[in-house]
Amino acid sequence: MTERWLGDMDPQTFRRWGHRLVDWMAGYLAAVEKYPVLSPVTPGGVRRQCDPAAPERPEDFDAIFADFESVVLPGITHWNHPSFFAYLPSTGSAPGILGEFLIAGLNVNGMLWRTAPAATELEEVVLDWLRQMLGLPEAFWGVLQDTASVASLCAIAAARDGVAGLQVGESGLAGRPLIPRLRLYTSQEAHSSIDKAGRILGLGQSNVRRIATDADYRMDPAALERAIQEDLRAGMRPFCVVATAGTTSTTSVDPLDEIATISARHGLWLHVDAAYAGAAALLPEKRHLFGGWERADSIVVNPHKWLFTPIDCSALLTRRPEALRAALGVLPEYLRTEEGDRASVHNLMDYGVALGRRFRALKLWIVLRYFGREGIAERIQEHIRLAQLFASGVDADPDFERMAPVPFSTVCFRYRPGDMAERLRGAKPEEASRIEGFLDDFNESLLNRLNACGKLFLSHTRLNGRYTLRFAVGNIRTTESHVRAAWHEIRTMAAELDEELRVGDLMF
């Protein structure tokens, strides 16, 4: 009997497959347009091709990779596709991929300074670079989280635990009759992760008070002030405001300066969710939209959204790291280190939920250096230009309607043919509602049909109750020709669908 190899894959095989995957990946990225953007599989389509029984014996990488190509790949929605215009941009880049490869190879856990000093120190350096690029003052210190959902949760936890006199971290919120309801304010357009944070943190979703927005989907500061006053009169305890710079539906920006003033007046923690749009603060011409965020207690900006860094990578910038640590730092004996007691040494596990920490800073360090502020800014500028180009197409077409301003690279619009626009003007409520219902159904059908064709992928939202299509530009491979082709496809399909649906529908 020969002794079995109990180690890792042998180096020759690793080299061979590593090289093959590099070539495969280069080919994939260069030719990603040949794939349908949205995966055409139906539910169960991938699972059905997998062996339901756990693998018992080792398999060659060849067999595994063959299944990757034949089973996994057809089930992929290609976020790398230049005609992926759905949700908000989330784009990697080749230097970011190389960074991930190094991260996986080193496989360090940067929970403590000593378990990977470079992971901790590079994180602090690179987040200070990001701070500079965003034009934020030196008082902001940064730490990476996986996603904005978690970054916002951490910020709100720090806000909650910082409420004077309550000692929530130690004593909790339940069974304490003297503790009032803690109230958090955010706009009606804020991201669902704020609701989720409210639930997880034991505040309760009903205490995440949604503030009305203006016609441009920005939080109304007067309504915020009224809500706070009302809650104070009712004996509740306001403690936090979450403003959004770049909402998920329309990318609107709350009036940060006014909100900062209100937050300061009432002593509330101000958290700014700039997960997507924060990247645009790199551009001098867009910086003014962020005026006031420098007064926030914390800000989240996701490099994995619009800073060309592979998912996941979310930067939490705060001027109150000690509050974050007070809420999230728990130090058992087995994680105690000599150097951990020094003020200059941060154990980054103390500033997040997870103990284990990937070396995410490495990919961000590579991406920021490879492109430089200049290169990143140019790409973001180009995406904004392309979105404006698309918006101008919508504006110029009598059969389409733009549904919101376009401060960045996302356009909200819908099909609304000229004759219906006409009829909507001056229609009685019942008639208007019938037409609007038709338009909602029409646009939903249009979206489904567009996405099914595989040439492009859009998503939707509802604005003032109306079904609205969203066109978000941000992929590093997207060029003007993709945007023009998408606009052409949308117009063509809308016209076809219009013809189909109106035949036999004598109402219209």
Characterize the bridge pairing of strands 314-318 and 141-145: antiparallel
Smallest separation (angstroms) from a copy of itself to the CB of 258: 25
Q: Is the dihedral of CA 90, 95, 101, 106 positive or negative?
A: negative
Q: What are phi and psi of 377, to 5 degrees?
A: -60, -40
The CB density around residue 222, as the number of other CB atoms within 10 Å, is 13
Taking the least distance from each CB to a copy of itself, the nearer of 359 and 400 is 359
Distance between CA 360 and CA 112 in Å, rounded? 14
Taking the least distance from each CB to a copy of itself, the nearer of 200 and 427 is 200
The CB density around residue 68, as the number of other CB atoms within 10 Å, is 13
Smallest separation (angstroms) from a copy of itself to the CB of 391: 19
Single-letter amino acid, residue 122: L
Smallest separation (angstroms) from a copy of itself to the CB of 1: 13
Contact of 275 with 242, CB cutoff 8 Å: no
Taking the least distance from each CB to a copy of itself, the nearer of 272 and 327 is 327
Smallest separation (angstroms) from a copy of itself to the CB of 131: 8
Smallest separation (angstroms) from a copy of itself to the CB of 506: 28
Smallest separation (angstroms) from a copy of itself to the CB of 294: 17
- For residue 94 the two structure tokens come to 């080749």
Q: Is the dihedral of CA 135, 136, 142, 145 positive or negative?
A: negative
Nearest to 404 by CA among 483, 480, 461: 461
Smallest separation (angstroms) from a copy of itself to the CB of 433: 19
Cα distances (angstroms) measured from residue 49 to each of 65, 68, 72, 157, 452:
14, 11, 9, 43, 22
Q: Which residues, other chains included, contact 269 with Cβ-Cβ below 8 Å and sequence gap of 6+?
A: 155, 156, 158, 159, 162, 239, 240, 241, 263, 297, 298
- For residue 216 the two structure tokens come to 């441009």
Taking the least distance from each CB to a copy of itself, the nearer of 114 and 295 is 114
Smallest separation (angstroms) from a copy of itself to the CB of 320: 17
Q: Using alpha carbons only, how large is the chain's radius of gyration in Å?
A: 25
Smallest separation (angstroms) from a copy of itself to the CB of 328: 7
Taking the least distance from each CB to a copy of itself, the nearer of 100 and 436 is 100
Give, rounded to a whole angstrom, the gap between the first and last alpha carbons of the chain.
82
Instruction: Name the 3-class secondary structure at 253.
Output: strand
* Residues comprising the chain, all counted: 508
Taking the least distance from each CB to a copy of itself, the nearer of 97 and 427 is 97
Q: What angle do CA 368, 372, 375 make, to 5 degrees?
A: 115
Structural element, H or E, at residue 434: helix 429-453
Taking the least distance from each CB to a copy of itself, the nearer of 130 and 279 is 130
Taking the least distance from each CB to a copy of itself, the nearer of 263 and 478 is 478
Taking the least distance from each CB to a copy of itself, the nearer of 77 and 261 is 77
